[in-house]
Amino acid sequence: MSIEKILEVENLRKEYKDVVAVDGVSFSVHAGEIVGLLGPNGAGKTTTIDMLLGIVEPSGGSIRVFGKDFARNRAEILAKVNFSAVYAHLPGNTTVRQNLFIFALLYGVPRIKERIAILLKEYDVEKFSRVRTGFLSSGEQSRVHMAKAMLNSPRLLLLDEPTASIDPSDSQIIREKIKVYATATGAAVLWTSHDMYEIEDVCDRVLFISHGKILLEGNPRELPSQYGKKNLEELFIAVAREPLSLVHNQ
């Protein structure tokens, strides 16, 4: 029995004036799968995620989510997608509870107050519910962002360095929550991170992107040895410094 493809990206391309940020990227993420999107700074990871969120218009290619064309079914699709990114701050001049309430309305979440209460507890931010988000530490804000990302129980979750500012203990808790969530609900997760240990722990599959193209794809625990590297970090460094020395493995 084939597993449902939640996200299908084909020949995705983004060109700016003199720069090709994403150059014909194709990949898919299946139900219940956590896929790591790795690459050096400027490789095209964030641009790819921005296109999947609909805040950057692709120059070419297609994005299908839940089997539907993203461009034609934007609102319907985004109602079941959510994200957390280290660079996407919630408004700092409203409280945690107020921010979650506003975004629950935007995502059409049913039984909003109950849902917010559950998430405040789950991400251990209950005590900050009446605090303005701007006053929280970066780690506390990251937990609030995760709570916001889970408001609509998304079927596709895009995480751009979600644990970047969180201490190792809380990071491990969040990783476990996401793994359990993906398995239990069949949600698809696309995860970018510079923490290779985190990627090895969480991801079923990784995609290495360099200069806007997917260079490598495979199991994060097996891929390094396939390319003669000791671990994922060494492989990452090779992708970052000498991408041409690696062969794209179809």
Partner 1 sequence: MKSIQRIFAIFWRQMLLLKGNAFRPLNLFYFSALELFLWGVLTLYLDRIGGSGFHFVSLVLGAVIMSSFMSRVVFGVSASFLEDVWTRNFINLFSSPLSLHEYILGFVAVSIVESLISVGFIALLAWLLLAYSIFSFGFLLIPFAGVLFMFGLAVGITATAVVLRFGPSAEMVVWSIPPLLAPFSAVFYPLSALPPFARSVSFFIPATHVFEGMRAVVRTGSFDARELIIGFAFAIIYCAVAYFFLYRSYRAVLRRGTFARFATE
The residue range among 25-33, 86-94, 206-214, 229-237 that interacts with partner 1, by the rule CB under 8 A, is 86-94
Backbone angles phi, psi at 214, to 5 degrees: -80, 125
Verify binding: residue 92, partner 1, rule CB under 8 A: yes
Verify binding: residue 57, partner 1, rule CB under 8 A: yes
Q: Closer to partner 1 at the Cβ: 17 or 230?
A: 17
Dihedral sign computed on CA atoms, order 43, 213, 206, 224: negative
Q: Using an 8 Å Cβ cutoff, are 15 and 25 in contact?
A: no
What is the total count of residues that contact partner 1 (CB under 8 A)?
Answer: 38
Exposure string for 125-152, b = 16+ CB within 10 A, e = fewer: beebeeeebeebeeebbbbbbbbbbbbb
The residue range among 53-61, 184-192, 202-210, 228-236 that interacts with partner 1, by the rule CB under 8 A, is 53-61
Q: Closer to partner 1 at the Cβ: 57 or 222?
A: 57
Verify binding: residue 29, partner 1, rule CB under 8 A: no
The residue range among 84-92, 186-194, 230-238, 242-250 that interacts with partner 1, by the rule CB under 8 A, is 84-92
Q: Using an 8 Å Cβ cutoff, are 186 and 1 in contact?
A: no
Which of 6, 7, 90, 96 binds partner 1 (CB under 8 A)? It is 90
Q: Closer to partner 1 at the Cβ: 54 or 139?
A: 54
Give the chain's end-to-end CA distance (angstroms, integer): 23
Verify binding: residue 103, partner 1, rule CB under 8 A: yes
Q: Using an 8 Å Cβ cutoff, are 214 and 26 in contact?
A: yes
Verify binding: residue 98, partner 1, rule CB under 8 A: yes
Verify binding: residue 107, partner 1, rule CB under 8 A: yes
249 three-state secondary structure = coil
Verify binding: residue 88, partner 1, rule CB under 8 A: yes
Report CA-CA distances (Å) from 77 to 52, 151, 214.
10, 15, 25
Which of 33, 50, 198, 200 binds partner 1 (CB under 8 A)? It is 50
Which of 12, 34, 65, 85 binds partner 1 (CB under 8 A)? It is 85
Q: Closer to partner 1 at the Cβ: 108 or 228?
A: 108
Q: Looking only at residues 145 through 204 of this chain, which bind partner 1 when binding is defined by CB under 8 A?
A: 148
Exposure string for 89-101, b = 16+ CB within 10 A, e = fewer: ebeeeebbbbbbb
Q: Where are the beta strands (DSSP E) in the chain?
A: 5-15, 20-30, 34-38, 60-65, 68-69, 81-85, 156-160, 188-192, 205-210, 213-218
Residues at the site binding partner 1, with contacts judged by CB under 8 A: 14, 16, 21, 46-47, 50, 53-57, 74-76, 78-79, 81, 83, 85, 87-95, 98, 101-103, 105-108, 132, 148
